[in-house]
Amino acid sequence: MLPLLLLLLLLLGVCRVVDANTKKPILEDLRDIRTRYQTVFRESGSDLEIKTLRRWYFEADKEGALEYCIDFEHHGHIVSPRPGLRLDGALGVVGPRDVDLITLYKSSNGKIDCMWLLPDKNRIGQDKEWRTDLEESRAYQGLLEIIKEDAKKSKAAVPTKVHYYDYNKVQTIG
């Protein structure tokens, strides 16, 4: 698990994690992110399972420009610090449990700059038949608005090349 954590930290730029509904920071900086994820990996152990179920990748129109990615994710057997308490888990942890999230990643120059999180309470990301319905969902549309607002704030264009991947329907060859 540690190599995965190190890889994640190497990919993070000046990063923060934000609640997509309230627009309030969940994790303020790289130190908070490192502390929380070290706790998650340590406490969850080898039973932790993280899957990306679906992905919309908004490819930059030119090199170095902003890119975005919307992932529907499933986190199985996750153990995390109690909300509102120390991120190192010293005052207690919650779990193990299964959590479905919708995550919007913003990146530039190969580094993740920001993540916005939404709970996927109805687990729509796991539905094997949906695609256009997902794109019409309030959650997806809300994240598109965040992309537009963020690009405008950054004085950048919203990427026009969008790639969709459905990891629920991966074909096995052979």
Tokens of 60: 């930059």
Q: Write down the pLDDT at residue 1.
A: 39
Q: Write down the pLDDT at residue 102.
A: 95
For residue 70, what pLDDT band results from cuts at 50, 70 and 90? very high
pLDDT digits (tens, 9 = 90+) for 115-131: 999 999 888 888 877 76
Q: Where are any strands of DSSP class E within 63-120?
A: 67-81, 93-108, 111-119
Q: Write down the pLDDT at residue 3.
A: 44
Residue 9 has pLDDT above 60, yes or no: no
Report the pLDDT averaged over residues 109-118. Answer: 89
pLDDT digits (tens, 9 = 90+) for 26-51: 988 888 988 998 999 999 999 999 99
Contact 36, 25 (CB under 8 A): no
pLDDT digits (tens, 9 = 90+) for 11-26: 666 678 999 999 999 9
Other Cβ atoms less than 10 A from the Cβ of 46: the count is: 8
Domain locations along the chain: 2-167
CATH number attached to the domain at 2-167: 3.10.450
